[in-house]
């Protein structure tokens, strides 16, 4: 038999995977931005719904079929502040935010070696409004990005898995999945993860990319 479950509610019960190593760990460093494309991990403990960010990091499965895009991260995932404050400490700016704060893991000697899995909402299928998008532009994101007329988000545009940065999708149909602005790109990615339903003009895209005024677009997710 089949028991119906509500997809929008159920997707609140995923987890972002355990992270190894330190890097920016322990000082509130971002390990997954909101809007990141994520995939389900086949090696998850107890076969639970554990997701990883879709990028080219060395800890990804080498088999492409094991990292098919599942959806978009609905929250930013950060490390805790355990290198500079007691474990479990929250900054005042975190209160009321939707950020996920992953707490530390320890080895047998008490050394911090990574972060625990953390609850994460994932948006998939359905129609959603989002400000987590980018399109082809010149200049520097957040400073002087410029979007040419015709490169804006248009209804029907395909959305691909984007670069390893805050925004994850692009409508650059010439180079699918190729975010031209930072060199931190996923090359030869042709997997479509969504379509634009209600887009944004070039001017609105510019202000969104530069983070001066956020204009949501409405998208149909295909994963």
50 and 141 both lie in a single domain: no
Contact call for residues 161 and 186 (beta carbons, < 8 A): yes
pLDDT computed for residue 171 by the predictor: 39
158 lies in some domain:
yes
Contact call for residues 210 and 202 (beta carbons, < 8 A): no
- Closest by CA to 179, choosing from 192, 159, 161, 163, is 163
Structural domain including 17 reads 7-123
58 lies in some domain:
yes
Distance CA 52, CA 117 (A): 10
18 lies in some domain:
yes
- Closest by CA to 122, choosing from 15, 216, 222, is 15
pLDDT computed for residue 149 by the predictor: 85
pLDDT computed for residue 135 by the predictor: 79
Distance CA 207, CA 144 (A): 10
Predicted model pTM: 0.69
pLDDT in tens, 148-194: 888 888 888 888 776 544 344 443 434 443 334 333 345 556 677 88
Query: Which of 123, 156, 177 lies at the terminal end of a domain, its last residue?
Result: 123
54 and 64 both lie in a single domain: yes
- Closest by CA to 193, choosing from 123, 137, 136, is 123
Distance CA 87, CA 38 (A): 27
2 lies in some domain:
no
pLDDT computed for residue 60 by the predictor: 54
12 and 118 both lie in a single domain: yes
pLDDT computed for residue 162 by the predictor: 66
Residues lower than pLDDT 70 in the chain: 21-25, 55-67, 88, 162-190
Distance CA 48, CA 40 (A): 9
119 and 141 both lie in a single domain: no
Distance CA 31, CA 25 (A): 8
Contact call for residues 200 and 153 (beta carbons, < 8 A): yes
58 and 22 both lie in a single domain: yes
pLDDT computed for residue 130 by the predictor: 86
204 and 104 both lie in a single domain: no
110 and 132 both lie in a single domain: no
21 and 89 both lie in a single domain: yes
Query: What sign for the dihedral angle of Cα 217, 142, 91, 29?
Result: positive
CA angle 100, 104, 110 (to 5 degrees): 170
134 and 118 both lie in a single domain: no
Query: Which of 123, 152, 177 lies at the terminal end of a domain, its last residue?
Result: 123
Query: Which of 75, 91, 123 lies at the terminal end of a domain, its last residue?
Result: 123
130 and 119 both lie in a single domain: no
pLDDT computed for residue 186 by the predictor: 52
Q: What is the dihedral of CA 61, 63, 66, 72, to 10 degrees?
A: 70
pLDDT computed for residue 24 by the predictor: 54
139 and 212 both lie in a single domain: yes
Distance CA 76, CA 118 (A): 11
pLDDT computed for residue 124 by the predictor: 85
119 and 37 both lie in a single domain: yes
Q: How many domains does the chain have?
A: 2
1 lies in some domain:
no
């Amino acid at each position: 038999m089949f028991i119906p479950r509500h997809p929008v509610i159920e997707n609140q019960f995923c987890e972002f995977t355990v992270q190894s190593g330190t890097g920016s760990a322990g000082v509130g460093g971002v390990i997954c931005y909101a809007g990141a494309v994520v995939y389900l991990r086949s090696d998850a403990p107890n076969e639970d719904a554990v997701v990883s960010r879709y990028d080219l990091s060395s800890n990804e499965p080498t088999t492409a079929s094991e990292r098919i895009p599942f959806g978009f991260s609905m929250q930013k995932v950060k490390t805790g502040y355990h290198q500079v404050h007691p474990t479990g400490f929250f900054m005042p700016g975190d209160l009321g935010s939707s950020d996920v704060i992953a707490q530390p893991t320890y080895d047998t000697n008490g050394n911090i070696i990574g972060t625990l899995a953390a609850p994460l909402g994932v948006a998939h299928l359905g129609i959603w409004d989002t400000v987590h998008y980018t399109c082809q532009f010149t200049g520097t994101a957040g400073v002087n990005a410029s979007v040419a007329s015709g490169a804006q988000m248009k209804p029907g545009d395909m959305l691909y898995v984007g670069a390893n940065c805050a925004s994850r999708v692009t409508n650059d149909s010439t180079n699918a999945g190729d975010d031209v602005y930072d060199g931190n790109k996923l090359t030869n990615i042709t997997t479509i993860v969504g379509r634009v339903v209600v887009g944004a003009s070039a001017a609105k895209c510019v202000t969104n990319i530069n983070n001066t005024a956020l204009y949501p677009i409405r998208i149909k997710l295909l994963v």
